[in-house]
Amino acid sequence: MRPRGSPLLFAWVGIGLPPIVWATCFQTSYSLTGGICLAGESPWRIHVVFSIAALSSLMGWLSAYRAWNSVGRGVPADEADHRERDRFLGVFGMLFCSLLILLIAAQWTPVFFVDPCVR
């Protein structure tokens, strides 16, 4: 049974969602740090922002995987048809999402070890 929805739409969600999520996470965590430091609070809100970003990017990866899986798993070929286009975009979306998930994790890691309010 084929999954409902267009593989092209799922592939573009997988390609477009993670960079928007990363940029929003980066700006939000940067903006929250000043208020947290002035209030003397723990950085739990920053952890919430990063965890939501990681889960949202994982949803983008799953969307790209769904696009790749719906047209048949495999390496994209050189043929110029819709099936190979969707397969290529699905694979590209999974790789791009993986890169951005690693980027989010790399930016999140220092929050565990370094107090964001240290000057």
Distance CA 46, CA 17 (A): 20
> Taking the model in full, what pTM does it have?
0.84
- Does residue 101 form part of some domain? yes
Q: How many domains does the chain have?
A: 1
Tokens 């290529």: give the residue. 88
- Does residue 84 form part of some domain? yes
pLDDT for residue 1: 43
pLDDT for residue 29: 93
Q: Which of 82, 89, 26, 78 is nearest to 52 (CA)?
A: 26
- Decide: helix, strand or coil at residue 41: coil
Distance CA 31, CA 15 (A): 26
- Does residue 118 form part of some domain? no
- Does residue 45 form part of some domain? yes
pLDDT for residue 87: 87
Q: Mean pLDDT for each 10-residue chunk of the chain (119 residues)? A: 71 93 95 88 91 96 92 76 86 95 95 83
